[in-house]
A = this chain, B = another copy of it.
Amino acid sequence: MEEKKTFDQAVMEMIVLLKEKNYKKTREKLLEHNEADIAEALEEILEETGIDTTIIVFRMLPKDISVEVFSRLPSDDQKEIINRITEKELTYIIDELDFDDKIDVLEELPANVVDKILEKTPKKERHQINTFLNYPDNCAGTLMTPDYISLEKEMTVREALAYIKNEGMDSETIYTCYVKEGSRKLKGIVSLRTLVVSDDNTKIADIMREDFVSINVYEDQEEVSEMFKKYGYLAMPVVDNEQRLVGIITMDDILDVIEEENTEDIERMAGVMDSSTTEYLNTGVGQHVKSRLPWLIFLMVSLMITGAIISQFEETLSQVIVLVAYLPLLMGTGGNTGSQTSTLVIRSMAIGDLELKDALKVLWKEFRISITVGLILSVMNFGKVMLIDGESWKIAVTVSAAMLIIVTFAKVIGGMLPMAAKKIKIDPALMANPMIASITDMFSATIYLVMASLILGI
């Protein structure tokens, strides 16, 4: 933390310097840091001093560093910079970017700009870029790079190392190398570790692993990140439907995927529609409204139905108006307890701890938990209603019995709905808190008021 504080201070100093138009000193200070830090500083500078100053700073960076920094900026910031630099500068940056970063940038650019850039690209690379741009969103194809080291089965370790020495600098990783045969079919993989510790005259064929795991190019990125978590490899090969090697995915790109998938789950669980990958502050008011309103309206309709249910009991309520005071208690507790369960179940399914076949076990566990929790809350409420509120035992029985039934229902439905959603291939995260709360609301109101009518004999 100490180090971070110093870095934040350094950035603040740069911003002060920039406001005094002391560009030379800013540049000096900036270049004391590495590319990732410079990118973070630039983000801050953009936010605090605007795009004009940022462009001046960006142009002052040495060319090779400016490309590295650019590749680390959030895509919103990249777009702002692209809009301000010359076509020549843009072409230079695109040329120098690693292939996977290049694709990421091109995907965000308008089609006419992409066409202009591609005009100047050699035909072979242009073809490859077009193939990569056409992979569906969020599939393995959009995460991979074609820059990997290919070795031949007949090479010796010495030849392989010499080859890597020549080709290694343009490759995304040299730590895992790939052996193909015939029509680009992947035959084996060999790690640089194995190469380095093996005897120089050993043949690649003798040390390559043939029990490798590969990823289909159309595999969903969530599944891809699960595979990285399971196997712990630094890089994994991506193959097409004919098992031909088309690229590799490296672990560092997976960190972002995990974060992105978790954000998507968390937002869905709170009833926010996919708000794309833009940052909170960079998302406009209109876009925020668009991602929040649909669920709010959907939930509002379900709350209106709850209201209509309550209307049916106006007679009961107007006779014993004190019943109204316990309505939020029962509905709220039902919602809270259901959300706890649904969250635990959704998360356990997401990280692979729970599968559909465990449904009965979940049901049995939640049933026992809910009876325990429900009884404790019931007894507390019985005491509170009779002793603190001084109401009749009939009302105390109504509230506490309803509590037990509602908690049990909420936990069971909170556990089952996400699993049912998964069964019919809907994202379980959509079944979380607001949805469960709405369903338990309707149920809670009905149970409570029916029981009140029966017990109070109204």
Q: A-side interface residues toward B, CB under 8 Å? A: 1-4, 33-34, 36, 40, 161, 164-165, 168-169, 174-175, 192-193, 196-197, 211, 213, 216, 219, 223, 228-232, 234, 251-252, 254-256, 258-259, 262-263, 265-267, 269-272, 275, 279-281, 285-286, 288-289, 292-293, 295-297, 299-300, 303-304, 306-308, 310-311, 314, 317-318, 321-322, 324-329, 331-333, 335-337, 339-340, 342-345, 347-348, 351, 353-354, 358, 361-362, 365, 368-369, 372-373, 376-377, 380-381, 384, 433-434, 437-438, 441, 445
Contact = CB atoms under 8 A, between A and B. Distances in A.
Contact of A197 (B168, B254, B332, B361): B168
The listed residue with most B CB atoms (<10 A of its CB), out of A265, A288, A437, is A288
The listed residue with most B CB atoms (<10 A of its CB), out of A232, A271, A358, is A232
Nearest to A308: B325
Contacts of A358: 281
Given A296-B377, A336-B296, A373-B292, A255 B229 contact: yes
A441 to B, nearest CB: 6
Given A197-B168, A285-B365, A328 B300 contact: no
B311 A325 contact: yes
Contacts of A271: 336, 339-340
A259 to B, nearest CB: 6
A321 B325 contact: no
A297 B380 contact: yes
A234 B231 contact: no
Interface majority SS on A: helix, strand, loop or mixed?
A: helix
A311 to B, nearest CB: 5
Nearest to A273: B340
Contacts of A306: 328-329, 332
B372 A267 contact: no
Given A1-B219, A300-B329, A164 B196 contact: yes
B279 A441 contact: no
Contacts of A193: 168, 174-175
A297 B377 contact: yes
Contacts of A36: 230-232
A344 B259 contact: no
Closest 7 A/B residue pairs (Cβ): A270-B343, A307-B325, A280-B348, A232-B252, A303-B332, A279-B353, A303-B329
A1 B241 CA distance: 12
A358 B279 CA distance: 13
Contacts of A314: 321-322, 324-325
The listed residue with most B CB atoms (<10 A of its CB), out of A255, A306, A314, is A255
A255 B252 contact: no
A328 B327 contact: yes
Given A196-B161, A196-B165, A255-B255, A289 B234 contact: no
